[in-house]
Amino acid sequence: MPQPFVKTLSQLPGYEGEGVTFLEEHEAETISSSYVRLAKGQSTTIGNHDDEEEIYIIMGGRASLRLNQTVHEVGFGDVVYIPRDVEHQATCVSDEDFEYICVANWPDRIPGQPVHHK
């Protein structure tokens, strides 16, 4: 059974790099969450998940965010919802690092069963 916790992002291994997963799959029933940081010109890998929804909470910087064929410029304070089967990729376009929290949800996951990513 999952247990509540409090963690400090800046104290987690990987925080100073490109990011860190701070809510592991075994720590929750249907969600995972991570902090992501991209330097100017860096991009995330192209994602597309038929079993997963994602929410991005933008914490700093600006990025060009492609959702399928539409490109959005996003920055601090923006919240992005990415439903299943949407191809997505973020590229930092600011001198400041692009930072966001990603919350991923597997709506069909049965609590207590492992997540199988596709």
> pLDDT tier at 24 (50, 70, 90 boundaries)?
confident
Q: Please tell me the predicted confidence (pLDDT) of residue 5.
A: 82
> 7 lies in a domain?
no
CA distances from 104 to 50, 56, 93, 95 (A): 12, 9, 24, 27
> pLDDT tier at 15 (50, 70, 90 boundaries)?
confident
- Position 111 pLDDT exceeds 80: no
Q: Please tell me the predicted confidence (pLDDT) of residue 112.
A: 60
> 66 lies in a domain?
yes
Which residues have C-beta within 8 Å of that of residue 67, sequence separation ≥ 6?
Answer: 80, 82, 86, 87, 88
Which residue range(s) make up the domain with 73? Answer: 21-105
CATH number where 49 lies: 2.60.120.10
> 30 lies in a domain?
yes
The tally of domains found in the chain comes to 1
> 15 lies in a domain?
no
> 57 lies in a domain?
yes
Q: Which of 46, 20, 23 is nearest to 99 (CA)?
A: 20
> 9 lies in a domain?
no
Which residues have C-beta within 8 Å of that of residue 80, sequence separation ≥ 6?
Answer: 55, 56, 58, 65, 67, 72, 74
What confidence tens digit (pLDDT) does each residue in 63-109 have?
A: 999 999 999 999 999 999 999 999 999 999 999 999 999 999 988 87
Q: Please tell me the predicted confidence (pLDDT) of residue 9.
A: 83
Q: How many CB atoms lie within 10 A of CB 54?
A: 19
